[in-house]
Amino acid sequence: MNFTEKDVTYPRQRKVKYVFVTGGVLSSVGKGVITSSIGRMLQARDFKVTAVKIDPYVNVDAGTMNPYMHGEVYVTDDGGETDLDLGGYERFLDLNLKKENNITTGIVFKAVIEKERRGNFLGRCVQIVPHVTNEIKSRIRTVAKHSDVDVVLTEVGGTVGDIEGLPFLEAIRQMRLKEGYENTLYVHIALVPILDITREMKTKPLQHSVNELRRIGIQPDIIVARCTKMINSEALRKIALFGTIPENAVFCSYNVNTIYQVPLILDKQGMGDFICRRLGLPQRESDYKEWTVFVNNLLDPENEVKVALVGKYAGLEDSYISMNEALKIAGATCRTKVVVQYIEAEKFEKNPKEVEMLRNFNGVFVPYGFGPRGTEGKIMAIKFARENNIPFLGICYGFQMAVTEFARHVCHLENANSTEINPNTPHPVIDLMPEQRGIENKGATMRLGAHKIIVKPDTTAYTLYRNREIYERHRHRFEVNLDYLARMEKNGLVFSGRSTDGRRMEILELPNRFFFFASQFHGEFKSRPGRPDPEYYGFIKACLDKKLGKTKPEFR
Ligand code: GLN
């Protein structure tokens, strides 16, 4: 690889600082939460931040990945189908990120190969270093340029030592050469297990992962030990010694009741001040006023509601992570603990009597979904909620299933269905959007991202959103078939939100129920601590008010 003189200069002071986060020992140690927490600590000191997630898999984006294996697909305003960590960043940091904040091996290689085909490399042999690494660096810098921030956080997915992560680690290693020592910071997070028998905190796996990182040429500046408990001084000393960092650069992310406490516990250990000092940022007092109110509301609720989440990917909680967080966030606003129980919809199909169990819940929630499995069970759950006046919220597929249920059981359209489930249904109440016909590629071809919705006055939707025009995020191919609109409206279903041309149904509600509400869009993607999306707030408030015996929900 050919460094030019320009590449190795150390600029004295640049505006943007870069924090790179890597992980060791094993995945799922909470790298995403710690990355978000670093951002939160900086924001608490009034610095502007953004975050980038690097996913070393070869997929171009998360859009074609099965949520059951990889967790939910997070949708950005600009229609990106991204890794779920972007959802964590958006919630922690109250940001609206873009597609470009998620970089994958697929997207990098695609770009490099397209440039090669265009002849942009002028006959040179195209290589991982420098061509792929340059592409990675330029993408991280592009985010910096577009976001006007003080600090860009970049989290490298996977674990140090993974083959597919190497080009990314090489790229972030090189970034220090150009950006300068004082503008770059490497944070390494690794698990410190506690042995059952001896109760000892074992730092050896962490030491190995730091060594692995050094072999690549990265010496961490900060090490975060992920441990069930606060690490003891002996473990801390060992980590500092073998990690070749001062003891005050070692922090511990121990188990807490809610992930939203993580910035608070790390900051208390001095991490926020350390990062600012190390990056040459002015030292400022941190302000967690609003954040603490939110965390306290979560930790110290006055009430509790139980919500049945009737879905298809119930076995993996990450499949519904944003929905789950949105429900909890709405709960905090209502000073109410939300206990979410995941129920496999197929259970009701196998034994229809099981649906009676929904009586034990304060609300029924039907989430997004694809394909036929479990849909009849979801319809049974919705019917039960409607007939028994249990508060109901349906999102996307949940909205489409609510329409189907209403068509079948109230409008008497026998075997009504979505053509996604039964292409030969006599009553295709949910059908493919016209612009979707003929599309064959699965990636990035749905109706995606934020679109404007017109809200009808004098409806629950209007009471909740308090606005005639709202923007919410979408991810779907199917929609309400307008041929059935009049019949459904005549029977009492109100479509209280529509696209700007009025042809796309976005919100439905049943005025004669305590709370029966569903949306084609996904309010969970816009829910933020202290600011739940109105449909989630409405649902939880309704669950609570019904439980408290009120005759109708009392929205703020
Ligand atoms: N499968 C449905 C559609 O494509 C719903 C999608 C979803 O729930 N996100 O329209």
Residue 494 lies in a domain: yes
Within this chain, do residues 459 and 384 fall inside the same structural domain, yes or no? yes
Q: Would the CB of 368 count as within 6 Å of ligand 1?
A: yes
pLDDT band at 9 (very low <50, low <70, confident <90, very high): very low
Average pLDDT (162-186) is 96
Residue 289 lies in a domain: no
User: Does residue 512 sit in helix, strand or coil?
Assistant: coil
Within this chain, do residues 227 and 365 fall inside the same structural domain, yes or no? no
Within this chain, do residues 259 and 343 fall inside the same structural domain, yes or no? no
Within this chain, do residues 341 and 249 fall inside the same structural domain, yes or no? no
Residue 146 lies in a domain: yes
C-alpha to C-alpha distance for 297 and 231, rounded to whole angstroms: 28
What CA dihedral angle connects 223, 225, 230 and 235, to 10 degrees? Answer: -80
Within this chain, do residues 92 and 145 fall inside the same structural domain, yes or no? yes
Whether 543 is a known active-site residue: answer no
For ligand 1, the distance from its centroid to the CA atom of residue 368, given in whole angstroms, is 6
Average pLDDT (315-319) is 80
Within this chain, do residues 272 and 321 fall inside the same structural domain, yes or no? no
We report the CATH number of the domain holding residue 374 as 3.40.50.880
Residue 553 lies in a domain: no
For ligand 1, the distance from its centroid to the CA atom of residue 111, given in whole angstroms, is 29
Q: Which of 22-26, 31-35, 263-267, 300-304 has the lowest mean pLDDT?
A: 22-26
Instruction: Give the tens place of pLDDT for each residue, 460-475.
Output: 999 999 999 999 999 9
User: Does residue 151 sit in helix, strand or coil?
Assistant: strand
Q: Would the CB of 72 count as within 6 Å of ligand 1?
A: no
Which residue has 């995020």 as its token pair?
473
Q: Of 282, 313, 330, at which residue does a domain stop?
A: 282
For ligand 1, the distance from its centroid to the CA atom of residue 384, given in whole angstroms, is 22
C-alpha to C-alpha distance for 553 and 222, rounded to whole angstroms: 49
User: Atom 7, ligand 1: which residue's CA is nearest?
Assistant: 368
Range of the domain at 258: 5-282
Q: Of 231, 251, 282, at which residue does a domain stop?
A: 282
For ligand 1, the distance from its centroid to the CA atom of residue 477, given in whole angstroms, is 6
For ligand 1, the distance from its centroid to the CA atom of residue 308, given in whole angstroms, is 20
Given 131, 451, 474, 522, which residue is catalytic? 522
pLDDT band at 317 (very low <50, low <70, confident <90, very high): confident
C-alpha to C-alpha distance for 286 and 398, rounded to whole angstroms: 42
Q: Would the CB of 313 count as within 6 Å of ligand 1?
A: no
User: Which tokens is 54 given?
Assistant: 């690097």
C-alpha to C-alpha distance for 1 and 548, rounded to whole angstroms: 69
Residue 310 lies in a domain: yes
Q: Would the CB of 370 count as within 6 Å of ligand 1?
A: yes
In percent, how much of the chain has pLDDT > 70? 97
Amino acid symbol at 178: K
In percent, how much of the chain has pLDDT > 90? 87
Confidence check: pLDDT of 8 > 60: no
Confidence check: pLDDT of 11 > 70: no
Q: Would the CB of 260 count as within 6 Å of ligand 1?
A: no
Average pLDDT (238-244) is 95
Confidence check: pLDDT of 5 > 70: no
Residue 332 lies in a domain: yes
We report the CATH number of the domain holding residue 222 as 3.40.50.300
Q: Which of 194-208, 284-298, 399-413 has the lowest mean pLDDT?
A: 194-208
Within this chain, do residues 208 and 313 fall inside the same structural domain, yes or no? no
Residue 438 lies in a domain: no
Q: Which of 3-7, 86-90, 358-362, 391-395 has the lowest mean pLDDT?
A: 3-7
Q: Which of 397, 418, 521 to mutate to test the pocket of ligand 1 (most atoms within 8 A of CB)?
A: 397
Given 396, 411, 476, 535, which residue is catalytic? 396
Task: Give residue 40's pLDDT.
Answer: 98
C-alpha to C-alpha distance for 483 and 487, rounded to whole angstroms: 8
For ligand 1, the distance from its centroid to the CA atom of residue 311, given in whole angstroms, is 13
- CA distances (Å), origin 69, targets 73, 83, 318, 333, 511: 11, 12, 9, 32, 39
For the CA of 475, the closest atom of ligand 1 is 9
pLDDT band at 69 (very low <50, low <70, confident <90, very high): confident
Q: Of 225, 249, 282, at which residue does a domain stop?
A: 282
Whether 522 is a known active-site residue: answer yes
Instruction: Give the tens place of pLDDT for each residue, 245-271.
Output: 999 999 999 999 999 999 999 999 999
Within this chain, do residues 277 and 308 fall inside the same structural domain, yes or no? no
Does residue 130 have a cis bond before it (omega within 30 degrees)? Answer: yes
Within this chain, do residues 275 and 358 fall inside the same structural domain, yes or no? no
Average pLDDT (444-470) is 96
Beta strands in 428-534 (DSSP E): 428-432, 447-455, 469-476, 478-480, 494-499, 505-509, 516-519
Q: Which of 115, 181, 131, 141 is nearest to 52 (CA)?
A: 141
pLDDT band at 68 (very low <50, low <70, confident <90, very high): confident
Alpha helix ranges (H) inside 217-261: 233-243
Within this chain, do residues 218 and 323 fall inside the same structural domain, yes or no? no
For ligand 1, the distance from its centroid to the CA atom of residue 79, given in whole angstroms, is 15
Instruction: Give the tens place of pLDDT for each residue, 367-420.
Output: 999 999 999 999 999 999 999 999 999 999 999 999 999 999 999 999 999 999
HEC readout, 271-306: HHHHHHHHHCCCCCCCCCHHHHHHHHHHHCCCEEEE
Within this chain, do residues 326 and 449 fall inside the same structural domain, yes or no? yes
Within this chain, do residues 263 and 352 fall inside the same structural domain, yes or no? no
User: Atom 1, ligand 1: which residue's CA is nearest?
Assistant: 370
Confidence check: pLDDT of 363 > 70: yes
pLDDT band at 3 (very low <50, low <70, confident <90, very high): very low
Residue 39 lies in a domain: yes
Task: Give residue 301's pLDDT.
Answer: 97
Q: Would the CB of 397 count as within 6 Å of ligand 1?
A: yes
Q: Would the CB of 214 count as within 6 Å of ligand 1?
A: no
The C-alpha angle with vertex 215 and arms to 211 and 219, in degrees rounded to 5, equals 65
User: Which tokens is 117 given?
Assistant: 């085909």
What pairs with residue 186 in β-bridges? 20
Average pLDDT (309-336) is 91
Q: At what angle do helices 204-216 and 233-243 cross, to 10 degrees?
A: 20
C-alpha to C-alpha distance for 402 and 516, rounded to whole angstroms: 9
Does residue 426 have a cis bond before it (omega within 30 degrees)? Answer: no
pTM: 0.93
Q: What is the mean pLDDT of the chain?
A: 94
Q: Which of 365, 366, 419, 477 to mutate to test the pocket of ligand 1 (most atoms within 8 A of CB)?
A: 477
Average pLDDT (293-301) is 96
Paired sense of beta strands 363-366 and 303-311, if any: parallel
Task: Give residue 547's pLDDT.
Answer: 98
Structural domain count of the chain: 2
Burial 394-405 (b: 16+ CB within 10 A, else e): bbbbbbbbbbbb
